[in-house]
Structure 1
Amino acid sequence: MQNQNPSKHGFLIADAGGGTLDISAYAIKGTSPLAMEEIAPPDCIFAGSVFVSRRAREFLEERLKHSKYGTPDAIDHITRRFDETTKRLFRDRHDLQFIPFGSPLDKVGPYYDSTVGIRSGQLRLKTKVEYSQESVQPLIDMTSTAVANLFEPSVDAAVTSIKRQIEASNGMIRSVFLVGGYAASPWLFGSKAVADGAIGFYCDHHVSARMSKFMYGVEFLREVDPKDPDHVARSEKLCELPSGPRLLPDAFDCILARVSPSYGTVAKLN
Protein backbone atom coordinates (compact mmCIF):
# COMPACT_ATOMS: atom_id res chain seq x y z
CA MET A 1 0.00 0.00 0.00
CA GLN A 2 2.88 2.35 0.75
CA ASN A 3 4.26 1.82 -2.76
CA GLN A 4 0.82 2.49 -4.23
CA ASN A 5 0.46 5.73 -2.31
CA PRO A 6 3.87 7.03 -1.16
CA SER A 7 2.39 10.20 0.31
CA LYS A 8 0.02 8.14 2.51
CA HIS A 9 -2.75 10.69 1.99
CA GLY A 10 -4.62 12.59 -0.68
CA PHE A 11 -5.04 16.28 -1.30
CA LEU A 12 -7.79 18.46 -2.72
CA ILE A 13 -7.55 21.46 -5.05
CA ALA A 14 -10.40 23.99 -4.96
CA ASP A 15 -10.06 26.36 -7.92
CA ALA A 16 -12.26 29.34 -7.05
CA GLY A 17 -12.88 31.43 -10.14
CA GLY A 18 -15.28 34.13 -11.21
CA GLY A 19 -18.16 31.87 -12.13
CA THR A 20 -17.46 28.39 -10.78
CA LEU A 21 -15.68 26.53 -8.03
CA ASP A 22 -13.91 23.49 -9.51
CA ILE A 23 -12.88 20.84 -7.00
CA SER A 24 -10.63 17.83 -7.66
CA ALA A 25 -9.03 15.32 -5.28
CA TYR A 26 -5.79 13.43 -5.96
CA ALA A 27 -3.40 10.93 -4.42
CA ILE A 28 0.22 10.41 -5.44
CA LYS A 29 0.68 6.88 -6.79
CA GLY A 30 4.30 7.10 -7.85
CA THR A 31 7.27 9.44 -7.73
CA SER A 32 9.58 8.11 -10.46
CA PRO A 33 7.98 9.27 -12.65
CA LEU A 34 5.42 11.36 -10.78
CA ALA A 35 1.95 9.85 -11.21
CA MET A 36 -1.32 10.84 -9.56
CA GLU A 37 -4.86 9.50 -9.57
CA GLU A 38 -8.18 11.13 -8.82
CA ILE A 39 -9.63 9.61 -5.67
CA ALA A 40 -13.10 11.18 -5.86
CA PRO A 41 -15.37 12.38 -8.70
CA PRO A 42 -14.54 16.03 -9.52
CA ASP A 43 -17.15 18.65 -8.75
CA CYS A 44 -18.06 21.96 -10.37
CA ILE A 45 -20.45 24.33 -8.60
CA PHE A 46 -21.74 27.75 -9.57
CA ALA A 47 -20.45 29.64 -6.55
CA GLY A 48 -17.81 32.01 -7.92
CA SER A 49 -17.24 35.66 -7.13
CA VAL A 50 -19.72 36.84 -9.78
CA PHE A 51 -22.56 35.58 -7.58
CA VAL A 52 -21.34 37.79 -4.71
CA SER A 53 -21.63 40.76 -7.08
CA ARG A 54 -25.09 39.63 -8.17
CA ARG A 55 -26.31 39.52 -4.56
CA ALA A 56 -24.74 42.94 -3.91
CA ARG A 57 -26.59 44.38 -6.87
CA GLU A 58 -29.89 42.98 -5.62
CA PHE A 59 -29.27 44.62 -2.25
CA LEU A 60 -28.40 47.97 -3.84
CA GLU A 61 -31.47 47.88 -6.07
CA GLU A 62 -33.70 47.38 -3.03
CA ARG A 63 -31.92 49.89 -0.79
CA LEU A 64 -31.65 52.68 -3.37
CA LYS A 65 -34.96 52.18 -5.19
CA HIS A 66 -36.39 55.47 -3.82
CA SER A 67 -33.13 57.39 -4.23
CA LYS A 68 -31.87 59.25 -7.27
CA TYR A 69 -29.16 56.58 -7.35
CA GLY A 70 -31.70 53.86 -8.02
CA THR A 71 -31.38 54.15 -11.81
CA PRO A 72 -29.92 51.20 -13.75
CA ASP A 73 -26.84 53.22 -14.73
CA ALA A 74 -26.16 54.30 -11.15
CA ILE A 75 -26.66 50.77 -9.81
CA ASP A 76 -24.28 49.46 -12.50
CA HIS A 77 -21.64 51.99 -11.48
CA ILE A 78 -21.94 51.40 -7.72
CA THR A 79 -21.93 47.61 -8.19
CA ARG A 80 -18.82 47.88 -10.34
CA ARG A 81 -17.11 49.95 -7.65
CA PHE A 82 -18.17 47.36 -5.06
CA ASP A 83 -16.41 44.73 -7.21
CA GLU A 84 -13.25 46.82 -7.50
CA THR A 85 -12.96 47.89 -3.87
CA THR A 86 -15.20 46.60 -1.08
CA LYS A 87 -15.48 43.02 -2.31
CA ARG A 88 -11.74 42.65 -2.74
CA LEU A 89 -10.81 44.25 0.59
CA PHE A 90 -13.52 42.92 2.91
CA ARG A 91 -12.02 40.73 5.63
CA ASP A 92 -13.83 41.39 8.92
CA ARG A 93 -17.55 41.58 9.66
CA HIS A 94 -16.79 44.08 12.48
CA ASP A 95 -15.04 46.70 10.31
CA LEU A 96 -16.83 49.74 8.91
CA GLN A 97 -17.41 49.30 5.16
CA PHE A 98 -17.74 51.82 2.32
CA ILE A 99 -18.35 51.71 -1.41
CA PRO A 100 -16.42 54.67 -2.88
CA PHE A 101 -17.96 55.63 -6.21
CA GLY A 102 -17.55 59.42 -6.48
CA SER A 103 -15.02 62.09 -5.57
CA PRO A 104 -14.03 62.92 -1.96
CA LEU A 105 -14.70 66.57 -2.91
CA ASP A 106 -18.38 65.81 -3.44
CA LYS A 107 -19.53 67.08 -0.04
CA VAL A 108 -22.80 68.12 -1.68
CA GLY A 109 -24.26 67.83 -5.14
CA PRO A 110 -24.35 64.81 -7.46
CA TYR A 111 -22.65 62.40 -5.04
CA TYR A 112 -24.51 63.33 -1.86
CA ASP A 113 -27.69 61.82 -0.45
CA SER A 114 -27.65 61.56 3.33
CA THR A 115 -30.99 59.73 3.40
CA VAL A 116 -29.31 56.58 2.07
CA GLY A 117 -25.88 57.09 3.58
CA ILE A 118 -24.09 58.65 0.60
CA ARG A 119 -21.60 61.34 1.57
CA SER A 120 -18.36 62.60 0.05
CA GLY A 121 -18.80 60.39 -2.98
CA GLN A 122 -19.06 57.11 -1.10
CA LEU A 123 -21.81 54.83 0.11
CA ARG A 124 -21.35 53.99 3.76
CA LEU A 125 -22.18 50.43 4.77
CA LYS A 126 -22.83 51.07 8.42
CA THR A 127 -22.28 48.81 11.39
CA LYS A 128 -25.32 50.38 13.04
CA VAL A 129 -28.31 52.47 12.01
CA GLU A 130 -28.06 56.23 12.50
CA TYR A 131 -30.33 59.08 11.52
CA SER A 132 -29.34 62.13 9.51
CA GLN A 133 -30.13 65.66 10.62
CA GLU A 134 -31.99 66.33 7.40
CA SER A 135 -34.32 63.35 7.57
CA VAL A 136 -35.82 60.86 10.00
CA GLN A 137 -35.04 58.11 7.46
CA PRO A 138 -32.09 55.97 8.63
CA LEU A 139 -28.86 55.92 6.72
CA ILE A 140 -28.14 52.79 4.74
CA ASP A 141 -28.39 49.96 7.25
CA MET A 142 -26.26 47.34 5.52
CA THR A 143 -23.97 46.17 8.31
CA SER A 144 -20.60 44.56 7.80
CA THR A 145 -22.31 41.32 8.77
CA ALA A 146 -24.66 41.84 5.84
CA VAL A 147 -21.63 42.28 3.58
CA ALA A 148 -20.36 38.96 4.89
CA ASN A 149 -23.74 37.45 4.09
CA LEU A 150 -23.14 38.26 0.42
CA PHE A 151 -20.25 35.79 0.54
CA GLU A 152 -21.89 33.13 2.70
CA PRO A 153 -23.85 31.19 0.02
CA SER A 154 -20.63 30.72 -1.97
CA VAL A 155 -18.66 29.77 1.13
CA ASP A 156 -21.34 27.32 2.27
CA ALA A 157 -21.47 25.71 -1.18
CA ALA A 158 -17.68 25.34 -1.19
CA VAL A 159 -17.60 23.76 2.27
CA THR A 160 -20.40 21.35 1.37
CA SER A 161 -18.65 20.26 -1.83
CA ILE A 162 -15.28 19.84 -0.09
CA LYS A 163 -16.86 17.72 2.66
CA ARG A 164 -18.54 15.60 -0.02
CA GLN A 165 -15.17 15.03 -1.71
CA ILE A 166 -13.56 14.04 1.59
CA GLU A 167 -16.32 11.50 2.24
CA ALA A 168 -16.04 10.13 -1.32
CA SER A 169 -12.29 9.63 -0.85
CA ASN A 170 -12.89 7.51 2.28
CA GLY A 171 -11.00 10.00 4.41
CA MET A 172 -7.80 10.03 2.34
CA ILE A 173 -7.81 13.81 1.86
CA ARG A 174 -5.62 15.55 4.43
CA SER A 175 -4.79 18.83 2.67
CA VAL A 176 -6.89 21.41 0.81
CA PHE A 177 -5.36 23.96 -1.59
CA LEU A 178 -7.50 27.01 -2.39
CA VAL A 179 -6.38 28.59 -5.67
CA GLY A 180 -7.77 30.86 -8.38
CA GLY A 181 -8.85 34.48 -8.62
CA TYR A 182 -11.66 34.31 -6.06
CA ALA A 183 -9.19 32.80 -3.59
CA ALA A 184 -7.60 36.27 -3.38
CA SER A 185 -10.54 37.38 -1.23
CA PRO A 186 -9.31 37.93 2.37
CA TRP A 187 -12.77 36.94 3.59
CA LEU A 188 -12.96 33.68 1.64
CA PHE A 189 -9.71 32.52 3.19
CA GLY A 190 -7.31 34.81 4.99
CA SER A 191 -4.18 32.63 5.17
CA LYS A 192 -3.57 31.09 1.79
CA ALA A 193 -1.30 31.60 -1.20
CA VAL A 194 -3.01 32.57 -4.45
CA ALA A 195 -1.64 30.17 -7.01
CA ASP A 196 -3.87 31.27 -9.91
CA GLY A 197 -4.47 27.68 -10.91
CA ALA A 198 -0.79 26.79 -11.20
CA ILE A 199 -1.13 23.84 -8.82
CA GLY A 200 -4.04 22.42 -10.79
CA PHE A 201 -2.21 22.89 -14.09
CA TYR A 202 0.86 21.10 -12.73
CA CYS A 203 -1.13 18.20 -11.32
CA ASP A 204 -3.12 17.75 -14.53
CA HIS A 205 0.01 16.78 -16.42
CA HIS A 206 0.78 13.92 -14.03
CA VAL A 207 -2.66 12.39 -13.50
CA SER A 208 -2.74 8.75 -14.64
CA ALA A 209 -6.33 7.93 -13.64
CA ARG A 210 -9.51 9.91 -13.15
CA MET A 211 -12.71 9.15 -11.23
CA SER A 212 -15.89 9.05 -13.29
CA LYS A 213 -18.74 11.33 -12.22
CA PHE A 214 -21.35 9.25 -14.07
CA MET A 215 -21.95 5.67 -15.13
CA TYR A 216 -21.27 5.08 -18.83
CA GLY A 217 -22.63 2.25 -20.94
CA VAL A 218 -24.65 1.22 -23.98
CA GLU A 219 -28.07 -0.18 -24.71
CA PHE A 220 -28.08 -3.80 -25.86
CA LEU A 221 -30.19 -6.95 -26.28
CA ARG A 222 -29.89 -9.32 -23.33
CA GLU A 223 -30.32 -13.07 -23.73
CA VAL A 224 -33.40 -14.32 -21.91
CA ASP A 225 -32.93 -16.18 -18.64
CA PRO A 226 -36.13 -18.20 -17.98
CA LYS A 227 -35.20 -18.41 -14.29
CA ASP A 228 -35.03 -14.63 -13.89
CA PRO A 229 -38.43 -13.27 -12.66
CA ASP A 230 -37.73 -9.89 -14.23
CA HIS A 231 -37.14 -11.50 -17.62
CA VAL A 232 -40.33 -13.53 -17.28
CA ALA A 233 -42.32 -10.39 -16.41
CA ARG A 234 -41.07 -8.72 -19.61
CA SER A 235 -41.69 -11.72 -21.85
CA GLU A 236 -44.11 -9.75 -24.04
CA LYS A 237 -41.12 -7.74 -25.30
CA LEU A 238 -39.26 -10.88 -26.28
CA CYS A 239 -37.69 -11.00 -29.73
CA GLU A 240 -36.16 -14.04 -31.40
CA LEU A 241 -33.40 -13.83 -33.95
CA PRO A 242 -33.36 -16.11 -37.03
CA SER A 243 -30.17 -17.64 -35.67
CA GLY A 244 -32.04 -18.84 -32.60
CA PRO A 245 -31.22 -16.70 -29.50
CA ARG A 246 -34.20 -15.24 -27.64
CA LEU A 247 -33.45 -11.69 -26.51
CA LEU A 248 -34.96 -8.88 -24.45
CA PRO A 249 -34.45 -5.24 -25.57
CA ASP A 250 -33.72 -2.12 -23.50
CA ALA A 251 -30.94 -3.64 -21.40
CA PHE A 252 -28.04 -1.50 -20.19
CA ASP A 253 -24.45 -2.72 -20.31
CA CYS A 254 -22.14 -0.77 -17.99
CA ILE A 255 -18.77 0.13 -19.51
CA LEU A 256 -17.49 2.39 -16.73
CA ALA A 257 -19.14 2.49 -13.33
CA ARG A 258 -19.66 5.72 -11.44
CA VAL A 259 -16.92 6.59 -8.92
CA SER A 260 -14.43 4.19 -10.46
CA PRO A 261 -10.94 5.01 -11.77
CA SER A 262 -10.49 5.36 -15.53
CA TYR A 263 -7.00 4.53 -16.79
CA GLY A 264 -5.56 5.23 -20.20
CA THR A 265 -5.38 8.34 -22.35
CA VAL A 266 -6.17 11.48 -20.40
CA ALA A 267 -7.23 14.72 -22.09
CA LYS A 268 -5.15 17.58 -20.73
CA LEU A 269 -6.45 21.06 -20.06
CA ASN A 270 -5.31 23.83 -22.37
Structure 2
Amino acid sequence: MRKLSGKVALVTGGSRGIGRSIAERLARDGALVAVHYGSSEAAAEETTAGIAADGGQAFTVGAELGVSGDVEKLVAGLDEGLAARGESALDILVHNAGLNFMGRPIEVLTPEEFDRMVAVNVKAPFFLTQRLLPRMREGGRIINISSVSTRVASSGGSIGYPLTKGALDVFSRTLAKYLGPRGITVNAVGVGFTRTDMTADALADPAHLESTVGRTALGRVGRAADIADAVAFLASDDARWITGTKVDVSGGVNL
Protein backbone atom coordinates (compact mmCIF):
# COMPACT_ATOMS: atom_id res chain seq x y z
CA MET A 1 0.00 0.00 0.00
CA ARG A 2 1.32 3.42 -0.95
CA LYS A 3 1.86 5.85 1.94
CA LEU A 4 -0.76 8.38 0.86
CA SER A 5 -3.46 6.05 -0.45
CA GLY A 6 -6.90 7.46 0.33
CA LYS A 7 -5.55 10.96 0.95
CA VAL A 8 -6.62 14.12 -0.87
CA ALA A 9 -4.09 16.88 -1.56
CA LEU A 10 -4.12 20.40 -2.98
CA VAL A 11 -0.87 21.83 -4.37
CA THR A 12 -0.97 25.51 -5.28
CA GLY A 13 1.21 26.44 -8.22
CA GLY A 14 1.28 22.75 -9.09
CA SER A 15 1.48 23.06 -12.86
CA ARG A 16 5.21 23.65 -13.22
CA GLY A 17 8.57 23.68 -11.49
CA ILE A 18 8.74 22.61 -7.86
CA GLY A 19 4.94 22.50 -7.58
CA ARG A 20 4.64 20.09 -10.47
CA SER A 21 7.25 17.80 -8.96
CA ILE A 22 5.40 17.88 -5.62
CA ALA A 23 2.08 17.04 -7.28
CA GLU A 24 3.66 14.16 -9.18
CA ARG A 25 5.32 12.75 -6.07
CA LEU A 26 2.18 12.95 -3.90
CA ALA A 27 0.18 11.24 -6.64
CA ARG A 28 2.84 8.57 -6.98
CA ASP A 29 2.45 7.93 -3.25
CA GLY A 30 -1.27 7.36 -3.74
CA ALA A 31 -2.94 10.73 -3.10
CA LEU A 32 -5.67 12.26 -5.24
CA VAL A 33 -4.07 15.60 -6.16
CA ALA A 34 -5.74 18.88 -7.08
CA VAL A 35 -3.20 20.66 -9.28
CA HIS A 36 -3.74 24.41 -8.99
CA TYR A 37 -2.54 26.79 -11.69
CA GLY A 38 -2.64 30.55 -11.95
CA SER A 39 -2.28 31.20 -15.68
CA SER A 40 -1.30 28.17 -17.79
CA GLU A 41 -4.13 25.67 -18.02
CA ALA A 42 -2.14 23.78 -20.66
CA ALA A 43 0.76 23.23 -18.25
CA ALA A 44 -1.64 22.01 -15.55
CA GLU A 45 -3.35 19.63 -17.96
CA GLU A 46 0.05 18.33 -19.02
CA THR A 47 0.87 17.70 -15.36
CA THR A 48 -2.35 15.81 -14.66
CA ALA A 49 -2.01 13.81 -17.88
CA GLY A 50 1.48 12.75 -16.82
CA ILE A 51 0.18 11.73 -13.41
CA ALA A 52 -2.61 9.68 -15.00
CA ALA A 53 -0.15 7.99 -17.35
CA ASP A 54 1.89 7.02 -14.28
CA GLY A 55 -1.17 5.43 -12.68
CA GLY A 56 -2.08 8.33 -10.39
CA GLN A 57 -5.15 10.51 -9.89
CA ALA A 58 -5.26 14.28 -10.36
CA PHE A 59 -7.39 17.13 -11.63
CA THR A 60 -6.79 20.81 -12.34
CA VAL A 61 -8.02 23.90 -10.49
CA GLY A 62 -7.51 27.33 -12.03
CA ALA A 63 -7.42 30.64 -10.13
CA GLU A 64 -5.03 33.57 -10.31
CA LEU A 65 -3.75 34.33 -6.81
CA GLY A 66 -3.22 37.79 -5.40
CA VAL A 67 -6.34 39.30 -6.97
CA SER A 68 -9.83 39.98 -5.69
CA GLY A 69 -11.90 36.80 -5.37
CA ASP A 70 -8.91 34.48 -5.77
CA VAL A 71 -9.66 32.23 -2.80
CA GLU A 72 -13.36 31.98 -3.63
CA LYS A 73 -12.60 30.92 -7.19
CA LEU A 74 -9.99 28.38 -6.14
CA VAL A 75 -12.22 26.82 -3.49
CA ALA A 76 -15.15 26.63 -5.91
CA GLY A 77 -13.00 24.81 -8.46
CA LEU A 78 -11.62 22.51 -5.79
CA ASP A 79 -15.11 21.64 -4.55
CA GLU A 80 -16.28 20.89 -8.08
CA GLY A 81 -13.30 18.65 -8.79
CA LEU A 82 -13.64 16.78 -5.50
CA ALA A 83 -17.39 16.29 -5.85
CA ALA A 84 -16.90 14.77 -9.29
CA ARG A 85 -14.69 12.15 -7.62
CA GLY A 86 -16.92 11.49 -4.62
CA GLU A 87 -14.75 13.48 -2.23
CA SER A 88 -15.32 16.57 -0.10
CA ALA A 89 -12.56 16.65 2.53
CA LEU A 90 -8.88 17.52 2.32
CA ASP A 91 -5.89 15.86 3.98
CA ILE A 92 -2.86 17.69 2.59
CA LEU A 93 -2.51 21.37 1.74
CA VAL A 94 0.74 22.50 0.09
CA HIS A 95 1.20 26.25 -0.30
CA ASN A 96 3.73 26.27 -3.10
CA ALA A 97 2.63 29.14 -5.36
CA GLY A 98 4.88 32.16 -4.97
CA LEU A 99 6.06 35.33 -6.64
CA ASN A 100 9.54 36.83 -6.62
CA PHE A 101 10.67 40.00 -8.36
CA MET A 102 14.29 38.93 -8.55
CA GLY A 103 17.16 41.39 -8.37
CA ARG A 104 15.04 44.18 -6.88
CA PRO A 105 16.90 45.87 -3.99
CA ILE A 106 15.12 48.26 -1.66
CA GLU A 107 16.04 51.29 -3.74
CA VAL A 108 14.05 50.10 -6.78
CA LEU A 109 11.32 47.78 -5.48
CA THR A 110 8.01 49.55 -6.09
CA PRO A 111 4.98 49.59 -3.77
CA GLU A 112 3.04 47.76 -6.47
CA GLU A 113 5.63 44.98 -6.68
CA PHE A 114 5.80 44.70 -2.90
CA ASP A 115 2.01 44.54 -2.55
CA ARG A 116 1.83 41.91 -5.29
CA MET A 117 4.35 39.65 -3.52
CA VAL A 118 2.55 40.04 -0.20
CA ALA A 119 -0.77 39.22 -1.88
CA VAL A 120 0.52 36.01 -3.48
CA ASN A 121 3.05 34.83 -0.89
CA VAL A 122 1.28 35.73 2.36
CA LYS A 123 -2.34 36.80 1.94
CA ALA A 124 -3.36 33.98 -0.39
CA PRO A 125 -1.97 31.16 1.82
CA PHE A 126 -3.50 32.77 4.92
CA PHE A 127 -7.03 33.12 3.59
CA LEU A 128 -6.98 29.90 1.58
CA THR A 129 -6.07 28.06 4.78
CA GLN A 130 -8.85 29.91 6.61
CA ARG A 131 -11.39 28.71 4.05
CA LEU A 132 -10.15 25.13 3.92
CA LEU A 133 -9.64 24.42 7.63
CA PRO A 134 -13.27 23.36 8.18
CA ARG A 135 -12.91 20.65 5.55
CA MET A 136 -9.48 19.39 6.58
CA ARG A 137 -9.57 15.99 8.21
CA GLU A 138 -8.11 15.42 11.65
CA GLY A 139 -4.44 14.45 11.36
CA GLY A 140 -4.01 16.46 8.18
CA ARG A 141 -0.89 18.16 6.86
CA ILE A 142 -0.19 21.77 5.91
CA ILE A 143 3.17 22.37 4.22
CA ASN A 144 4.37 25.85 3.34
CA ILE A 145 7.10 26.24 0.74
CA SER A 146 9.41 28.88 2.17
CA SER A 147 12.96 29.89 1.29
CA VAL A 148 16.52 29.73 2.54
CA SER A 149 16.55 33.48 1.92
CA THR A 150 15.04 34.01 5.38
CA ARG A 151 18.37 32.99 6.96
CA VAL A 152 20.78 34.08 4.20
CA ALA A 153 21.11 37.75 3.30
CA SER A 154 20.92 38.34 -0.44
CA SER A 155 24.14 39.64 -1.95
CA GLY A 156 22.06 41.76 -4.34
CA GLY A 157 20.02 43.38 -1.60
CA SER A 158 16.75 41.74 -2.64
CA ILE A 159 14.63 42.04 0.47
CA GLY A 160 10.93 41.96 -0.47
CA TYR A 161 10.70 38.24 -1.21
CA PRO A 162 12.51 37.14 1.99
CA LEU A 163 10.19 39.37 4.01
CA THR A 164 7.15 37.57 2.66
CA LYS A 165 8.67 34.15 3.26
CA GLY A 166 9.60 35.17 6.80
CA ALA A 167 5.93 35.96 7.37
CA LEU A 168 5.04 32.51 6.05
CA ASP A 169 7.45 30.95 8.56
CA VAL A 170 5.71 32.76 11.43
CA PHE A 171 2.38 31.61 10.02
CA SER A 172 3.63 28.00 10.06
CA ARG A 173 4.76 28.03 13.69
CA THR A 174 1.68 29.77 15.06
CA LEU A 175 -0.75 27.65 13.06
CA ALA A 176 1.04 24.47 14.16
CA LYS A 177 0.31 25.26 17.80
CA TYR A 178 -3.25 26.29 17.08
CA LEU A 179 -4.06 23.15 15.09
CA GLY A 180 -2.20 20.74 17.36
CA PRO A 181 -5.38 19.60 19.15
CA ARG A 182 -6.72 18.42 15.79
CA GLY A 183 -3.59 16.42 15.06
CA ILE A 184 -2.88 18.62 12.02
CA THR A 185 0.82 19.26 11.52
CA VAL A 186 2.10 22.47 9.95
CA ASN A 187 5.65 22.77 8.67
CA ALA A 188 7.67 24.93 6.31
CA VAL A 189 10.26 23.81 3.76
CA GLY A 190 13.21 26.15 3.24
CA VAL A 191 14.13 25.90 -0.44
CA GLY A 192 17.59 26.85 -1.67
CA PHE A 193 18.96 27.35 -5.17
CA THR A 194 16.81 25.05 -7.30
CA ARG A 195 16.80 24.57 -11.06
CA THR A 196 13.36 25.52 -12.43
CA ASP A 197 12.06 27.55 -15.34
CA MET A 198 11.98 30.58 -13.01
CA THR A 199 15.70 30.32 -12.27
CA ALA A 200 16.81 29.12 -15.72
CA ASP A 201 18.01 32.51 -16.96
CA ALA A 202 20.06 33.24 -13.84
CA LEU A 203 21.63 29.79 -13.79
CA ALA A 204 22.47 30.05 -17.50
CA ASP A 205 25.14 32.58 -16.51
CA PRO A 206 28.30 30.50 -15.87
CA ALA A 207 29.58 32.93 -13.23
CA HIS A 208 26.29 32.89 -11.36
CA LEU A 209 26.10 29.11 -11.55
CA GLU A 210 29.65 28.75 -10.22
CA SER A 211 28.91 31.11 -7.35
CA THR A 212 25.69 29.26 -6.51
CA VAL A 213 27.34 25.85 -6.46
CA GLY A 214 30.24 27.25 -4.44
CA ARG A 215 27.86 28.45 -1.71
CA THR A 216 26.16 25.05 -1.42
CA ALA A 217 27.72 22.41 0.84
CA LEU A 218 26.61 19.50 -1.33
CA GLY A 219 28.18 21.09 -4.40
CA ARG A 220 25.32 21.30 -6.87
CA VAL A 221 22.13 23.17 -7.67
CA GLY A 222 18.97 21.66 -6.25
CA ARG A 223 16.45 19.74 -8.33
CA ALA A 224 12.68 20.01 -8.03
CA ALA A 225 12.57 16.36 -6.99
CA ASP A 226 14.78 17.17 -3.98
CA ILE A 227 12.05 19.45 -2.65
CA ALA A 228 9.20 17.12 -3.61
CA ASP A 229 10.72 14.21 -1.72
CA ALA A 230 10.96 16.31 1.46
CA VAL A 231 7.35 17.45 1.07
CA ALA A 232 6.20 13.85 0.56
CA PHE A 233 7.92 12.88 3.80
CA LEU A 234 6.22 15.69 5.74
CA ALA A 235 2.88 14.71 4.19
CA SER A 236 3.24 11.09 5.29
CA ASP A 237 2.58 9.39 8.61
CA ASP A 238 6.35 9.06 9.03
CA ALA A 239 6.37 12.78 9.94
CA ARG A 240 3.46 12.54 12.40
CA TRP A 241 5.59 13.90 15.29
CA ILE A 242 7.05 16.84 13.39
CA THR A 243 5.22 20.15 13.52
CA GLY A 244 5.95 23.86 13.84
CA THR A 245 9.38 23.53 12.28
CA LYS A 246 11.19 24.55 9.11
CA VAL A 247 13.08 21.87 7.24
CA ASP A 248 16.09 23.29 5.38
CA VAL A 249 16.10 21.61 1.97
CA SER A 250 18.85 23.72 0.42
CA GLY A 251 21.80 21.34 0.17
CA GLY A 252 23.50 23.42 2.85
CA VAL A 253 23.54 26.94 1.42
CA ASN A 254 25.95 29.27 3.25
CA LEU A 255 26.60 26.97 6.17
User: Which TM-score tier does this pair reach, normalised by the shorter chain?
Assistant: under 0.3
TM-score if structure 1 supplies the norm length? 0.23
The structure that is strand-richer by fraction is 1
Structure ranking higher in helix proportion:
2
- Point out the structure with max Rg over C-alpha: 1
TM-score calculated relative to the size of structure 2? 0.23
